[in-house]
Structure 1
Amino acid sequence: MFRYVLPLALPASLALFLVGCGHEEPAQVSVRPAMVVQPQPSAQAMDSYPGEVRARFEPDLAFRIGGKVSRRLVEEGERVKANQPLAELDPQDVRLQLEATRAQVAAAEANLNLVRSERDRYKTLLDRQMVSRSQYDNAENLYRSGEARLKQIKAEFDVSSNQAGYAVLRAPQDGVVAKRQVEVGQVVAAGQTVFTLAADGEREVLISFPEQAFGRFKIGQDVSVELWSQPDQRFNGHIRELSPAADPKSRTFAARIAFSAGKVPAELGQSARVYVQAAGVVPLSVPLSALTAENGATYVWRILADNTLKRTPVRVGAFGEKTVPVFEGLTASDWVVAAGVHVLHDGEKVRPVDRSNRVVNLAAKE
């Protein structure tokens, strides 16, 4: 009996299985993430110069009087606040000078009181016609001389008081001690550099231009800056300062590059590289990983506004270490896939992300 029932049961169960499968939801197709970049000016058409991040203002700090350094209160690289003591001189000499001037002030005041009383007495006698006019004038002159002497000594006392304060070197503003040039026990002259302060605020890049190319550069010329700590990012800048004379040792011309944007994540002493556009038309460049080839043709995957891929033929130049110049096929506003190009397909929809895995909204960047 089972031989007859089994052939009938199998088609029925198969039909029920197919009906059940028909009610399942279709599997959703996941969108592949794709790292994207924009073409950048080719390094082959850019002159690059190494540099160092420096502070915009770097005042040399010095004592206003000479003396022997008795205390050094900060170290090189230490952050300081405005009016913070940095170093002190032996105050013994300036204190003795201050005490001597104070004594002279007291003597001048006593002398002024004496000549004032003499003048007043002679004035009374003159009114009674008991002394001559010349005697009174002599007493008046002595009084005026004593008054002037007191003013002179008081001014000298103020100078001595200021010099006593000059024995302590203070920071003029917030910043970092970039360089130290004295030690405790060293005798320094007035105006001799003791510290170099890198003031807080704007940061710049100090570079040196070669002598043979100096004529190509001018103040205000646009450049781009790449920090060693952020090799995949360029910051816009311009030449703010250009030395008119070459360094006697290196025969190069110092220049300072200011950042055109607001606050840039550049720290003091960081290495940087400044790129200056060469003369002529500057080709674009893309990473080597963005290129692929088929049947002898080179192309990249360009992303359209709807996040779909389009295979775009390009004409490239000589391959560099990390990038390759593109002469035809792309514009500076295009976005191309920078990695994994061998697994992509024409018309495929992707999710564009940057190197930090953040979603890139192409429509907002157009």
Structure 2
Amino acid sequence: MLTPESTVLKKAKSRELTHGVLQLPMMFAGLILLASVGACSKSVEKSEDVRPVRAIVVKNGTADSALELSGEVRPRIESRLGFRVGGKIVSRKVELGTVVKRGQLLMQLDPQDLALAQTQAKAALAAAESNRDLALAEMKRYQELRSKNFVAATVLDSKDVAYKSAQSSYEQALAAYKNQSNQTSYTSLESDVDGVVTSIDAEVGQVVAAGTPVVRVAQAGDMDVVVGIPENKINVIRQMTDINVSMWAQPTKVMTAKLRELSPIADPVTRTYTAKVILPADANDVRLGMTANVSFIARNPNQAIKLPMTALLQNKGSTSVWVVEQGVVKLVPVQIAGAAGEDVLIAAGVASGQTVVTAGVNFLKAGQHVTILAADAAPVNEANTSTTGVAK
């Protein structure tokens, strides 16, 4: 027979066994959770970043430096024509772009007032002529009377003075009439050269003063290309003896030109120095107002390496480039000798045959693996001087 104490002990052992069995699944779940957390905490290996870049294989070439500027074709001589008298414009005979000949009528003023003034001057001339003839007749008559001693010498002298005064009045009236006739003819504005009308600055009905420009006529013949020289290039522009000009409309046609004029003072608006380049006489296809590309070239017999501007990287106050060696880039400091158009001349730092990155230089780091784009890796003709070809 079981005692009460033994019954209590059996119940306690039964509860402990049940509690232990229930804790087994929870222990297994905890172990699985710890295993999964441990697996997640393992470091994942990062794949190496290989960046595509553009690059060129540099080679020695000519060290000629060039300065390319845009300009406009303008006439050598362009006259601003105006009336020599003031008045109201009543007619205009030309349009913008009209080809005119010497002596061709351009504009006409109202001649009414000047015609009346001319009539007045003509009448004054006729009166002066009559007074002169009368004084001459009286002087001759008194000369005859004096020869017969009928009048005193003083009377003859007074008649002689009167005649001379009348003669002077006649000459004065004649000059006034001629001047007024010229004034009347000035109401017609005529071209004094063969050329083309480049601007019309006044219209019919407008009252203009004497000398006010109303029409611009460009003289036919020699033409110039006008360019603005930056102030940092003004000291070297005279050393560039070779000048080539090409029109934007005909980029393949290159003409040899000469520097005709270089302004000693900067333009107050653009702050550039105006240079005028003479076009050759056989430039038949060039028209006024065309856009031209002017290249000032300084010849240098020495050899140098050219790189595009995009290949340069400013690093800690020095200029460097990325050189590719076995698919890895390294930063190499270079020395710049000058500029040649859109390229720069390298004096030291890189050698012929090395591969230099020309695009994406700001996104690279030393020792980084790169891949060169296929278009840049293809063989390029050595004569090519573009940024994606062989630098010369």
> 1:276 offset after TM fit, Å?
0.6
Please name the residue that 1:92 is paired with: 112
Give the structure 2 partner of residue 227 of structure 1.
247
Deviation readout 1:114-143 (Å, 9 max, x if unpaired): 111111111111111111111101100110
Quote the Cα distance in structure 1 between the aligned partners of 2:276 and 2:303.
27
Give the aligned partner of residue 28 of structure 1.
Answer: none
Given the alignment of the two structures, is residue 269 of structure 1 paired with residue 336 of structure 2, yes or no? no
Is 1:151 the equivalent of 2:171?
yes
Letter in 2 for 1:93: D
Residue 175 of structure 2 is aligned to residue 108 of structure 1: no
2:75 aligned with 1:55, yes or no? yes
Mapped partners of 1:66, 1:220: distance in 2? 49
Q: 1:324 to 1:203 in 2, by over 3 A?
A: farther
Specify which of 193, 203, 206 is matched with residue 173 of structure 1.
193
1:220 and 1:126 mapped to 2: Cα distance? 88
SS at match of 1:68: strand
Q: CA shift at 1:53, angstroms?
A: 1.0
- Of the three residues 145, 150, 154, the one matched with 1:125 is 145
**Equivalents in 2 of 1:198, 1:128: separation in Å?**
73
Cα distance between partner residues in 2 of 1:246 and 1:115: 67
| Matching of residues 208-247 of structure 1 within 5 Å | 208-218=228-238, 221-247=241-267
> Conserved in 1, the CA contact under 8 Å of 2:242 and 2:298?
no
In the superposition, relative to structure 1, how do residues 315 and 189 fare at CA in structure 2: closer, same or farther (>3 Å)? closer
Q: 1:225 offset after TM fit, Å?
A: 0.4
Native 8 Å contact 2:105 2:191 kept in 1: yes
Question: How far apart are the structure 1 equivalents of 2:180 and 2:283?
Answer: 44
Q: Percent identity?
A: 35
Shift of 1:151: 1.1
Q: CA deviation at 1:64?
A: 1.1
Residues 1:254 and 2:274 are matched in the alignment: yes
Aligned 1:191-210 pairs, distance under 5 A: 191-210=211-230
Q: CA deviation at 1:264?
A: 3.9
Q: Distance in 2 between matches of 1:121 and 1:130?
A: 11
Q: Deviations over 1:37-88 (max 9, x none)?
A: xxxx989932111111111111111111111111111111111111110001
Q: Which amino acid aligns with 2:249?
A: S
Shift, 1:210, TM fit: 1.6
User: CA offset at residue 242 of structure 1?
Assistant: 1.6
- Secondary structure in 1 matching 2:149: coil
Match of 2:98 among 66, 78, 93: 78
CA distance in 2, matches of 1:220, 1:65: 48
Counterpart in 2 of 1:340?
none
| Structure 1 letter corresponding to 2:161 | N
Q: 2:387 corresponds to which residue? A: 320
* CA distance in structure 2 between the aligned counterparts of 1:159 and 1:50, rounded to whole angstroms: 50
CA radius of gyration, larger in? 2
Shift in CA distance, 141/225, structure 1 to aligned 2, threshold 3 Å:
same
TM-score (norm 2): 0.61
2:206 matched residue in structure 1: 186
Q: State how far apart, in whole Å, the 2-side matches of 1:264 and 1:252 are.
A: 29
Q: Deviations over 1:301-336 (max 9, x none)?
A: xxxxxxxxxxxxx4876x337x7643xxxxxxxxxx
CA-atom RMSD in angstroms: 2.9
Residues matched between the structures, number: 262
Change (3 A) 1:161 1:214: same
Structure 1 unpaired stretches of 5+? 1-40, 286-292, 301-313, 327-366
CA shift, 1:215, in A, is 2.3
CA distance in 1, matches of 2:240, 2:142: 76
* Residue pair 2:241, 2:297 contacting (<8 A) in 1 also: no
SS in 2 for 1:232: coil
Gaps in structure 2 of 5+ consecutive residues:
1-60, 307-373
- Is the partner of 2:205 in helix, strand or coil? coil
1:139 aligns with 2:159: yes
Distance in structure 1 (CA, Å) of the matches to 2:280 and 2:270: 29
Amino acid in the other structure paired with 1:46: A
Shift of 1:282: 8.4
State the shift of 1:244 in Å.
2.0
